[in-house]
């Protein structure tokens, strides 16, 4: 059976993340708030009321994902601080030190396939790898453009990051100057290992196929591109 449930908001929706086992979704809106919707309850009671609301201390919350065993929520946003919240009470449990964390707005947040760590991207032109339980910084990947999207390979020790020049400036430059490629880094060595071109505007979304043999990208040029890795990619030696 396929059931479609509609949730209506008074503000634009930024992102969402689903917990399969609990039937709960976390939504990030264009505000300082995270909303949690219980899908099963919504279908049964025909209501989309939130089961929990978390408001960001400073600025908008841009991204949020579930932590280990769905007991916590990890969020990041405009104030460049990553926070861990109790998913039952909404209580703030931990937050990162801005001295070692991002220096500008966090734009993206992506978990590893095993859920042990996560990757964040920021307008400070970097992506950072964190421990999901302790929020300890593990690695930093530095690039020459604002980072709008990032993802972790489920197959290799690779991460991919994308972004580019700000949208308001896109029409004043060509795609080479705008730096609209998806860049690959070695997860452990923090070294850039390659790039994939194609978009004519900033990349705003990245995701690996679960088998790690392809990835998709979405950009402000209006295109979603599916990229299949060739044999050389699987033979990269570091």
* Domain range list for the chain: 1-95, 97-238
pLDDT recorded at residue 172: 54
The CATH fold of domain 97-238? Methylamine Dehydrogenase; Chain H (2.130.10)
pLDDT band at residue 203 under the 50/70/90 scheme: very high
Q: Percent of the chain at pLDDT above 70?
A: 73
DSSP characters for 104-135?
A: S-EEEEEE-TTSSEEEEEETTTEEEEEETTT-
Cα–Cα distance, 107 to 202 (Å, whole number): 13
Q: pLDDT digits over 206-227, tens only?
A: 999 999 999 999 999 999 999 9
Domains 1-95 and 97-238 share a fold: no
- Averaged pLDDT, 173-187: 76
The CATH fold of domain 1-95? Thrombin, subunit H (2.40.10)
- pLDDT at 37 > cutoff 70: no
Does 22 or 50 have the greater pLDDT score? 50
Whether pTM > 0.85 for this model: the answer is: no
Cα–Cα distance, 110 to 158 (Å, whole number): 13
Two structure tokens written together for 134? 């302790």
Cα of first residue to Cα of last residue in the chain, in angstroms, is 48
The shares of helix, strand and coil residues in the chain, as percent rounded to the nearest 5, are 10, 45, 45
pLDDT recorded at residue 5: 47
Q: pLDDT digits over 129-171, tens only?
A: 999 999 999 999 999 999 999 999 999 999 999 998 765 555 5
pLDDT band at residue 15 under the 50/70/90 scheme: low
pLDDT band at residue 17 under the 50/70/90 scheme: low
């Amino acid at each position: 059976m396929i059931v479609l449930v509609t949730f209506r908001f008074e503000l634009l929706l930024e992102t969402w993340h689903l917990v399969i086992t609990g039937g709960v979704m976390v939504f990030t809106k264009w505000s300082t708030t995270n909303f949690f919707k219980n899908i099963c309850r919504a279908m049964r009671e025909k209501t989309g009321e939130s089961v929990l609301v978390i408001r960001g201390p400073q600025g908008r919350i841009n991204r949020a994902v579930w932590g280990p065993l769905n007991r916590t929520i990890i969020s990041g946003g405009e104030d460049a601080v990553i926070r861990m919240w109790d998913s039952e009470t909404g209580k703030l449990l931990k937050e990162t030190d801005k001295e070692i964390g991002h220096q500008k707005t966090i734009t993206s947040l992506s978990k590893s396939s095993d859920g042990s760590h996560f990757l964040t991207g920021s307008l400070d032109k970097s992506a950072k790898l964190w421990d999901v339980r302790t929020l300890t910084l593990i690695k930093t990947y530095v690039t020459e453009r604002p980072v709008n999207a990032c993802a972790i390979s489920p197959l290799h020790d690779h991460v991919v990051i994308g972004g580019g020049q700000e949208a308001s400036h896109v029409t004043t430059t060509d795609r080479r100057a705008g730096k609209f490629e998806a860049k690959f880094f070695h997860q452990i060595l923090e070294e850039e290992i390659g790039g994939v071109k194609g978009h004519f505007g900033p990349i705003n979304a990245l995701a690996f196929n679960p088998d790690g043999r392809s990835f998709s990208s979405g950009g402000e040029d209006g295109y979603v591109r599916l990229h299949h890795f060739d044999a050389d990619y699987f033979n990269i030696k570091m």
